[in-house]
Homo-oligomer: A and B are copies of this chain.
């Protein structure tokens, strides 16, 4: 029974993430001024969309790799995954918030949301992976596939970015964007 539930959870998660990644397209604005399209605004929006896209696509990949390790998951993981999807679904709104007004509070809110998502995801990964692999060397291999060799690409980074964002919001904005794109692209090289 838990095996079937896990399969449905996979389909459900994929569907939710697919919707999250696509609804953002609906918000791309086509504004006309004096009979000409405002390209600057359109391309800025596409830029913001691409950052959210990388962030969510990256988590989809890590999520798929992690959950493929398990044949079945305990109930606590099912609930945790649904909570994970809840916070993930706030990413488009918070990205829009941060880019429409790059104030220190908004950048800190976004970093905080990334931290929460990152922590929930690590809790799920640990439970699933530790259940299957006990050998230390195996654990390192599988963690490398999910997160990459980069130590900094972890939740700790977001913890540091929150106070830094209070003083230099624009620096943190650039760092967050770079991090999303780099995490996503990295998986292609492995």
Chain A residues with CB under 8 Å of chain B are 1, 4-5, 8-12, 14-23, 25-26, 28, 30, 32, 35-37, 39, 42, 46, 50, 53, 57, 60-61, 64-65, 68-69, 75-76, 78-80, 82, 85-86, 89-90, 92-93, 96-97, 100-101, 103, 105-106, 184-185, 187-190
With A12-B18, A86-B53 as contacts: A5 and B76 at CB distance below 8 Å: no
What chain B residues lie within 8 Å of A89 (beta carbons)? 21-22, 25
Chain B residue nearest to A13 in the complex (CB): B18
Complex Cα gap A32–B76 (Å) = 39
Q: Output the least CB separation between A46 and chain B (Å).
A: 7
Complex Cα gap A184–B23 (Å) = 25
* Pair A101/B37 contact, Cβ less than 8 Å: yes
With A5-B65, A30-B97 as contacts: A46 and B90 at CB distance below 8 Å: yes
* Pair A25/B92 contact, Cβ less than 8 Å: yes
Q: How many copies does the complex hold?
A: 4
| 4 pairs of A and B residues whose beta carbons are closest in the complex | A79-B188, A15-B18, A19-B22, A4-B68
What chain B residues lie within 8 Å of A9 (beta carbons)? 64
* Pair B188/A75 contact, Cβ less than 8 Å: yes
What chain B residues lie within 8 Å of A100 (beta carbons)? 30, 32
* Pair A96/B30 contact, Cβ less than 8 Å: yes
Complex Cα gap A72–B103 (Å) = 45
* Pair A12/B12 contact, Cβ less than 8 Å: no
With A20-B22, A78-B61 as contacts: A101 and B53 at CB distance below 8 Å: no
Pick the residue among B35, B68, B78, B92 that contacts A8 (CB under 8 A): B68
Complex Cα gap A64–B64 (Å) = 20
With A11-B14, A68-B8, A93-B25 as contacts: A50 and B20 at CB distance below 8 Å: no
Complex Cα gap A32–B39 (Å) = 23
